[in-house]
A and B are shown apart, each in its own frame.
Chain A
Amino acid sequence: MKIEEMDLERLLRTDFQFRERGRSLPPEMRASWRLSMLLLVIAVGTPRGDCSPKRLHLLNWSLMSSGRREQLRRVLSFREPTYGLLIRMDPALDRAVTLAVGEGLVEHKTTGKLKITESGRDVVAAIEADEIFSGVRSYLSEVGIKLTDKHVDRIFTWEPLK
């Protein structure tokens, strides 16, 4: 029956059923996604394998949109000043890190930096073998080299990189 033909009165008097759907989430709010991202940040986006929390949050922030990725790229190629970047720390990332540590994929060093474990490397290897998250991986390998720890600090304080 077309909408126009339906008797509105009748329609309103019929029983309605409400079915509760699961709550839809943006992919970045999935623990498994964020877990994978943080593993990739450490394994692919951090050349020396020791990732400071600041670096983690910075790269995590940049992964959230293509606009942000572009921005960071431009800043690191000295085409834009650092004070254009408004980095937000994300408590959800901290929860993901806690989970990663619990799962034995990542561990805290005494310096406070994060290091990936053997099990963590296994997950990264599986991700690379199946060629998923390829966009993120190529971005992290590109930016990871350019982003030194000194750069990280300067970005947060809005100082010039050079």
Chain B
Amino acid sequence: MSMKFNRLLVEVETNAGPFVTDLRFSKGLNILRAENTSGKSTLINALAYGLGLEAVLGRRSKRPFTPAMYHMVKHKEIEYPVLRSSVFVEIENHDGQTFTCRRDYHGGNDKQLVLVSEGAIANRMDSEPVSYYVRLPGAAQAKHGFHRWLAEFVGWTLPQVMTFDGREVPLYIELVFTLLFVEQTNGWSAIQANLPTYFGIKNAAKRSTEFLLDLDAPDVSKEREALAHKKQELRREWRQQLTQAELAVKQFHGRFVGVSSEPVMDFETSGAGRAEVHYDEQWVPLSEAITLVERRVAELQRMAIPLVADVAPELEVRLSEVMHDLKHLERAGGRALNQYEAAEAERDLLRRRVEALQEDLKEYRDLKTLQKLGAYQKLASADGHCPTCMQALQDTLLIPSEGAAPASIDQNMKFITEQIKLFQNMLKAAEKDFIDRDSELSRIREDISRRRRQVRAIRESLTSSPNTPSVALIGDRMMAQEELDRLRAGEDLLREIRTGFYEISVQWKEVESDLKRLPKTGFSDEDDQKMDDLSALVREQARAYGFSSFDVQDIGVSKDTYRPTRDGFEIGFDASASDNIRLMWAYYLGLLELDRIHHTNHPGFLVFDEPRQQEARQVSFERLLERAAYAKKHGQQVIFATSEEPQHLRPIVEELSVQYIATKDLLLQPRW
């Protein structure tokens, strides 16, 4: 990844002829030296403007250029009205490709247009330029979006990031450039001071720094998010299976036990998920019930259908037996109904309790917020005493009497939370109990209706002609067979459902192990190394530059915000204004230097317009520039515009190989 500036040409056409400023940049440190009023900032701004990146220059309403670019050029006391102004920026990338980008400011092409021609500025007439556009919606991704072209030119694949309203957009290139470009007016107030917020990107500063450092962390957190999402899906599927199982057992008034609402990794081996049927007043496993019913069916089949006359006495006995059973069952049914209603009431009561507690907790949360508000804090009672007599006052409306003082808001909330947990557990048990009672009741009711049918069948037999076959037995056979069919169908269905559980649990196991594999802090080993090295670089430079607000050893780069911190707090007010500048320089340069020892996405250049006089006075830039000059050895570039006295700069310029561009070269000169 890299990019460097080769040349900047600013051309202002007047009716007398063109005025130009022509600057050539080299590798290493380039110093542009001019008085503050001479438009040196304009040239720094032109580098950004030419690439459609005026966003990094700060507030949109401010013009990046002086009137010389759109109104009047003053030269030797004569004023020349401006017809057209254009900015040409020549850039070169790692592969040695050179392109010229032209963007007009006044009078020429639309401001949203950037014309890109292959080759240097000098050769721009040789080929047909391609039109790209900037600052239009969608430009970042569209085929003819300039920033898309620029990202490709630099060698960047910008990642997708999340906005505040849940959409995914590309990380806009302007955000990354705020770490490479620092303008004079506002740029030195904080790191990435001019970070545009209108893209609505969540954690824009973090995301852009993360990208520049080429950390693995965003990938890790994306993967973690994706896995969490998968877990939610699997959880949903599991619960669907559970619902299916419960529906399946309802067909034969059974119950399904042994499977929790949370997926497990080892479904098969835990032997979970049994279906049970209420048979003969107890719950038996489905398979057992099937065997019992099969036996009964076989028994009934063996019996020959007798004539009424032959079996009349038996039928009589049978009738009284069944009626006895029926009475028994009806009583059991009555008890089961009572238990069902009690279980339902208990469950409803617990539900209401939990709801009431949750409402109370909500009120307490609001109350906690209230007590932090300034308007409330002003009150005497907020301080714990009466506004008129200053006596100590508790936050309660109860009449003070014997008994404990009221708990604090936090303690009260803790108590309510504990109560909620307690009652939710009880509710869970009550809900389970209710479901059991429900199945029991419906099972008994079915038994009852079956017996009643039997009674009708037997009575029918007994009252029919003695030479007809007894329908009672036929009825019995049919009912038993029906029962068997139903149980068997249930068994088949449940087998399928259990397979479903198994498949989900296999996937669940996979996801859990994938999650375990991810680094706990979200940082890979390489990430950690990069951050440690960056911290070291920042500390080293701070020390070299004379940072004195506190011990340099306390400075580190946060693995959370990627900013310089001290004891976990962002250094801002801790340090003097000049130390803050030293620190920012150390940070930006640290990012540049880090690219020399690690793979990062840093393009290898920095453009700085010096901080305003008040802040900069104390900072002697010699050390900072010395350090920046090392960029040359590594093929990197630092462009620094300053109004520093030439004699202060002379030693640096002479000692280190520095590209020095002096005042007269920075002014618009007539070229005719």
Q: Quick one: which of B326-373 are within 8 Å of A by CB?
A: 359-360, 363-364, 366-367, 369-371, 373
Q: Which residue of A lies closest to B415 (CB)?
A: A24
Are B363 and A27 touching (Cβ within 8 A)? yes
Pair B396/A25 contact, Cβ less than 8 Å: yes
Question: How far is the CB of B382 from the nearest CB of chain A, in Å?
Answer: 8
| Chain A residues numbered 63-121 whose CB sits less than 8 Å from any CB in chain B | 66, 92, 95-96, 99, 102-105, 119
Cβ B375 vs Cβ A132 within 8 A: no
**Whose C-beta in chain A lies nearest to the C-beta of B419?**
A24
Do residues B407 and A30 form an inter-chain contact, with CB atoms below 8 A?
A: no
User: In chain B, what residue has the closest Cβ to A102?
Assistant: B387
User: Is B375 a contact of A22 with CB atoms below 8 Å?
Assistant: no
> Smallest CB–CB gap between A118 and chain B, Å?
11
In the complex with contacts A21-B404, A23-B405, A125-B397 CB distance below 8 A: no
Among residues 381 to 407 in chain B, which have CB atoms less than 8 Å away from a CB atom of chain A? 381-382, 386-388, 393-398, 403-407
Residue from the list A22, A35, A102, A132 in contact with B407, Cβ < 8 A: A22
Residues from 181 to 198 in B contacting A, C-beta threshold 8 Å = none
User: Known interface pairs A27-B360, A32-B376, A126-B376. Does A21 touch B407 (Cβ–Cβ under 8 Å)?
Assistant: yes
Q: CA–CA, A133 to B386, complex, Å?
A: 25
| Contact B403–A31 (Cβ < 8 Å) | no
Which residues in A have their C-beta under 8 angstroms from that of B380?
A: 102-103
Query: Chain A 1-36 against B: per-residue CB contact (8 Å), 1 yes, 0 no?
Result: 000000000000000000011111111111111111
A-B contact count (CB 8 A): 101
CB of B282 closer than 8 Å to a CB of A: no
Once the chains bind, are B363 and A103 in contact (CB under 8 Å)?
A: no
By secondary structure, the A interface counts as helix
- B405-420 interface code vs A (CB 8 A; 1 in, 0 out): 1111101100110000
Minimum Cβ distance to chain B for residue A93 (Å): 8
How many whole Å from B404's CB to the nearest CB in chain A? Answer: 4
Most buried by B among A25, A28, A92: A25
Interchain CA distance A28-B370 in the complex, whole Å:
14
Residues of B within 8 A of A26 (CB): 360
State the CA gap A96–B367 with chains docked (Å): 15
Shortest distance from the beta carbon of B221 to any chain A beta carbon, whole Å: 30
Inter-chain CA distance A104–B396, complex, in Å, is: 19
Residue of B nearest to A23 (CB): B404
Give the distance to chain A from B303, nearest Cβ to Cβ, in Å.
52
Q: State which size class the interface on B falls in.
A: 35 or more
- Chain A residues contacting B363 (CB-CB under 8 Å) are 27-28, 33
Report if B422 contacts A (CB, 8 A): no
**Cβ–Cβ < 8 Å partners of B404 in chain A:** 20-23
Q: A25 with B406: in contact, given A102-B388, A133-B366 (CB under 8 Å)?
A: yes
User: Across the interface, do B371 and A32 meet the contact criterion of CB distance under 8 Å?
Assistant: yes
Measured between beta carbons, the chain A residues less than 8 angstroms from B376 are 32, 123, 126
Decide if A159 is an interface residue (CB 8 Å cutoff): no
| Given the contacts A22-B406, A29-B397, A127 and B367 also touching, CB distance less than 8 Å | no
Q: How far is the CA of A103 from the CA of B393 in the complex (A)?
A: 13
With contacts A21-B404, A22-B411, A25-B407 taken as known, whether A130 is within 8 angstroms of B396 at the C-beta atoms is no
Question: Nearest residue in B to A105 (C-beta to C-beta)?
Answer: B379
Tell me which of B370, B379, B393, B412 contacts A127 (CB under 8 A).
B370
Instruction: Select one of B374, B397, B409, B412 contacting A34, CB under 8 A.
Output: B397
**C-alpha gap A20/B360 in the complex (Å):** 22
The reply to whether the CB of A153 lies closer than 8 angstroms to some CB of chain B is no
Cβ distance B268 to chain A, nearest Cβ, rounded Å: 29
Q: What is the bound-complex CA distance between A28 and B398, given in angstroms?
A: 11
Contact between B412 and A32, CB atoms less than 8 A apart: no
A126 to B373, CA, bound (A): 7
Nearest B residue to A129 via CB reads: B373
Q: Which residue of A lies closest to B408 (CB)?
A: A22
B24-61 residues at the A interface, CB under 8 angstroms = none
Which residues of chain B are within 8 angstroms of A22 by Cβ–Cβ distance?
404-408, 411-412
Pick from B366, B375, B395: contact of A123, CB below 8 A. B375
Q: Is residue A122 within 8 Å, beta carbon to beta carbon, of the partner chain?
A: yes
Query: Are B395 and A24 in touch, CB under 8 angstroms?
Result: no
Q: How far is the CA of A31 from the CA of B396 in the complex (A)?
A: 5
- Identify which of B375, B378, B411 contacts A125 (C-beta below 8 A): B375
Contact partners of A34 in chain B: CB under 8 A: 397
Closest chain-B Cβ to A101's Cβ sits at a distance in Å of: 9
* Chain B hits for A123, CB < 8 A: 373, 375-376
A20–B407 Cα gap in the complex (Å)?
10
CB neighbours of B415 from chain A (8 A)? 21, 24
Q: Which residues from A are CB-within-8-Å of B407? A: 21-25
| Chain B residues positioned under 8 Å from A35 (CB to CB) | 381
Chain A residues lying within 8 Å of B373, measured Cβ to Cβ, are 123, 126-127, 130
Q: How many Å lie between the Cα of A99 and that of B382 in the bound state?
A: 11
User: Which B residues fall within an 8 A CB radius of A?
Assistant: 359-360, 363-364, 366-367, 369-371, 373-376, 378-382, 386-388, 393-398, 403-409, 411-412, 415-416
Nearest 10 interchain pairs by C-beta: A22-B407, A126-B375, A27-B363, A132-B366, A92-B397, A102-B387, A23-B404, A126-B373, A123-B375, A122-B375
5 contacts between A and B (CB under 8 A): A22-B405, A24-B416, A30-B396, A33-B367, A102-B386
